[in-house]
Amino acid sequence: GDSVTQMEGPVTLSEEAFLTINCTYTATGYPSLFWYVQYPGEGLQLLLKATKADDKGSNKGFEATYRKETTSFHLEKGSVQVSDSAVYFCALSGNTGNQFYFGTGTSLTVIP
């Protein structure tokens, strides 16, 4: 069945460091891919998305490219800030669009 695998955390970075959080997926057909962010005590917020191969989603300095050849959707940011500290979830919506599959989440802490 469809699934998402995320790199395990926690990840701790200094402010202005480069961020990569790896995400790979298994799916039949052509899923849509998402990154969600969850701040402490809150629900999930959509960060960015890509709906077809080679699409690049971007928002707030974060970006991720839908790579069908490597079945990956890695999240990157060139210079992280303390306010980026949160848990990041990779997710996919299958071919039928009927169900989302979430990764286990990667906790990011950015220290000044």
Return residues touching other proteins (CB under 8 A): 32, 34, 36, 41-46, 49, 51, 89, 93, 96-100, 102-105
β-strand partners of 48: 35
Q: Which is nearer to other proteins, 71 or 101 (CB)?
A: 101
Q: How far is the CB of 98 from other proteins (least distance, A)?
A: 6
Q: Please, which residues have CB within 8 angstroms of residue 5's CB and are 6 or more apart in sequence?
A: 23, 24, 25, 26, 103
Q: How far is the CB of 82 from other proteins (least distance, A)?
A: 22
Q: How far is the CB of 101 from other proteins (least distance, A)?
A: 9
Return the half-sphere exposure (C-beta side, CA atoms, 13 A cut-off) of residue 2. 21
Q: Which is nearer to other proteins, 12 or 14 (CB)?
A: 12
Q: Which is nearer to other proteins, 31 or 77 (CB)?
A: 31
In angstroms, the CA 77 to CA 20 distance is 7
Q: How far is the CB of 104 from other proteins (least distance, A)?
A: 5
Contact 72, 80 (CB under 8 A): no
